[in-house]
Amino acid sequence: MVVFASALTFFFVNLAPGGPASVMRFDVTAEQREALIKAMGLDRPVPQRYVEWFTAAIHGDLGSSLLTNEPVTTRIGDRLPNTLTLAGSALLISIFAGIPIGVVQALRRGRLVDHLLSLFSAIGLAVPVFWLGIVLILVFAVSLHILPSAGVTSVASDTFGDRLAHLVLPAVALATTILPTVVRFTRSSTIEALHEDYIRTATSKGLAPWTVVTRHALRNALIPVVSAVGALVPRLLGGTVVTEAVFGWPGMGRLALEAAQGRDYPLVTGLTVVVASSSPSPRSRSQGRSSGRSRPRPPIRRTVSRASPPRIPSAPTSSAATC
């Protein structure tokens, strides 16, 4: 998966028209431009450059940035903590809000609450992240002056409370990318768990409904939800590009946008490798789906009734014989 993603990104970016921003500058002469292209190695064929890059990447060297001449690992390492903080906060919001909503929908299946929450989930899935981010900034930052609109910290203060206030709006906007999916998975798996035989057995024993739901139904219903959350992590990391651009968050998503605009080939490829390495493999996904299924019921043993031996008619009595 990582090899395929890196090769696809490397060839597409290098074969695109244009070049790095440092090569496309108009204030340099033709000789300086040719010397810069040769120094960057852009005069060699693309397959040869990819083989050289991949050989170095195996040893942990992702190359140097064409714009700043810094190692790619250094630039990614500077932005990675901010992206992990934003993505982790959005993931926690999705889990702690999506699972209770899905359970409520399963317990009120077919009622008004279920339809309203399903409508809100569909709206949240259809609303673009950039539009929601702009609306949140206009409402909570511009109109109400409750939360800051951009950045990680303020200029005057760098406290934990200030960082947390800057994190709220981008984390909420990013959480909407996976929250509806978590709600739907929780609802469907809880409905399936509530129809199992062990739930009817626990209810017939006189356990409280809350105990039946939390200790028996929810425990088994969370297995496919956990597998789905693991598969949603790449989507969450992909949504950071738009979210960080809207809120001015200095993370990997904003770095990827800057690298794509400047045609920084090694940096774009390195970011792709990092995101691709975080996605689960197809084998782990299939194992997660198989573990989330309900356990097969034991086969029903059918007892075969043995045929009784044919009854032999009794011998005629003496009186019948005399007749």
Q: Which amino acid is at 91?
A: L
Tell whether the model's pLDDT for residue 173 goes beyond 80: yes
* pLDDT of 183: 93
Unique residue bearing structure tokens 């005399």: 322
Q: Which two tokens stand for residue 169?
A: 């709006």
- Helix axis angle for 218-247 and 252-261, nearest 10°, is 50
**Structural domain tally of the chain?**
1
Residue 66 CA to residue 88 CA, distance in Å, equals 30
The reply to whether 184 falls in a domain is yes
Contacts of 204 (CB under 8 A, 6+ apart): none
* Alpha carbon 42 to its chain's center: 35
Separation of alpha carbons 238 and 108, rounded Å = 34
What confidence score (pLDDT) does residue 283 get? 52
How many Å from the N-terminal Cα to the C-terminal Cα in the chain? 98
What is the model's pLDDT at position 106? 92
Residue 101 lies in a domain: yes
Element (H or E) spanning 44, and its range? none
pLDDT digits (tens, 9 = 90+) for 302-317: 444 444 444 444 444 4
Percent of the chain surpassing pLDDT 70: 82
- Residue listed under structure tokens 């409904």: 209
Largest CA distance in the chain: 139
Among 146-155, 180-189, 213-222, 226-235, top mean pLDDT goes to 180-189
Domain for residue 121, yes or no? Answer: yes
Q: How far apart are CA 192 and CA 72, in angstroms?
A: 47
Mean pLDDT (the chain) is 80
Is 140 contained in some domain? yes
> Token pair for residue 172?
């909420």
Q: Average pLDDT in the 42-66 region?
A: 84
**Range name among 65-79, 86-100, 140-154, 287-301 with the lowest pLDDT average:** 287-301
So what's the pLDDT on residue 281? Answer: 55
Q: What is the pLDDT of residue 319?
A: 43
Question: In the structure encoding, which two tokens stand for residue 185, read together?
Answer: 């998975």
Question: Helix H segments across the chain?
Answer: 2-15, 30-40, 46-58, 72-107, 112-126, 129-136, 160-175, 179-194, 197-204, 209-211, 218-247, 252-261, 265-277, 282-292, 318-322
Q: Which domain holds residue 286?
A: 72-292
Phi, psi of 44 (to 5 degrees): -85, 160
Cα–Cα dist 260/268, whole Å: 7
Amino acid 299: pLDDT:
40
**Is residue 91 a part of any domain in this protein?**
yes
Which tokens go with 302? 């059918």
DSSP-assigned letters across all residues of 286-316: HHHHHHHSPPPPPPPPPPPPPPPPPPPPPPP
Both tokens of 78, joined, read 């500077």
Residue 116 and residue 98: Cα distance in Å, rounded?
14
Q: What is the pLDDT of residue 239?
A: 83
Inter-residue contact 20 to 288 (CB < 8 Å) = no
**Domain annotation covers residue 303:** no
Q: What is the pTM of this model?
A: 0.76
Mean pLDDT along residues 214-234: 86
CA 278 to chain centre: 10
Residue in 191, 201, 179 with CA at minimum distance from that of residue 221: 191
Q: Please report, for the domain that includes residue 113, its CATH number.
A: 1.10.3720.10
Residue 148 DSSP one-character state: -
Residue at 272 is within a domain: yes
The verdict on residue 156 lying in a domain is yes
pLDDT at 38: 80
Weakest-pLDDT range from 122-126, 195-199, 282-286, 292-296 = 292-296
Q: Has residue 113 got a pLDDT over 70?
A: yes
